[in-house]
Structure formats: C-alpha cells, structure tokens
Structure 1
Amino acid sequence: MKSAIHQINSDEDATYNKRRMLSELNNMEFTVGFEKVRRLMKKLNLVTKRPKQHRYSFCDVASVIAPNKLNSN
C-alpha cells in the first residue's frame, strides 16, 4: 500500500490530499479508512501542494470607455 501511495503522489504531482488519496486507494481495491491514509501519508512525509491563488492585476489608468461613477465624491 505504501508503494501505491507513493505512485499516486508522484503521478498527480503531490496534489492529492488524504480524501482524494482514500478514494484512489479504494478504486484500486484497497480496503482502507480515512485515518489509516492520514497516518500513512504523515509517516511517509507526503505533503499536499496547494495551487497558487489567482491574483487580479490592477492598473492605474482610468478606463477610456466609461467614467468611474463609483469613485465620485
């Protein structure tokens, strides 16, 4: 089971958390619970990478198409 967890982690670029790992292992016919997956991932030092947050770019130039009526005093 440890090799399967390592394989899933490397295939998915370390983006699978314990819940997704549990469903993958259950699909591979392993009979395992949530806490067991959590303990194994902790024992194997597998940490899930979070995707970067989306950042909106702001520009300092006012729109040419329409005036900004929200910023009026």
Structure 2
Amino acid sequence: MGSKMILDEVSLDQIPVMVSNKTTDHMIVNFAHIAQSHIESSEFERAFLILQHLVRAQRFDMAATFLS
C-alpha cells in the first residue's frame, strides 16, 4: 500500500497527531508529493487540507528549515 493510499485512510485532523514530534524534512517532501498527486487528480481541496494539517505538527518549523 503506497503512502498516498495510507494517508487517504487517515482523518486529516489526525495528521498532526500521527506525525507527532517525528516531523522531518523528508516527511515534509513526502507529504508534498502526496498533495501533488491529489492536485494531478483534481482533488485540490484534499491537497490543501493535507498540507494545512501537516504544518500544525510538532517540529514542522524546525524540519522545514532543512528543506533545500
């Protein structure tokens, strides 16, 4: 089961809880790829909500500083 399929089984408001304090730059990139795949499927709202909930995860700001 791919990451997109797994994330689609999770309630979006649970993303910050699921990610918890394990947020990394690699995780942010993976979530961005998943959001992009939703955009390519014309699921714009789902893509936006995934990213909107991800930024609420602990350590997001710190992990984002490592993105190149």
Q: TM-score, normalised by structure 1?
A: 0.33
Bigger Rg, which one: 1
The structure that is helix-richer by fraction is: 2
Q: Which has the higher contact order (CA 8 A, sep 6+)?
A: 2
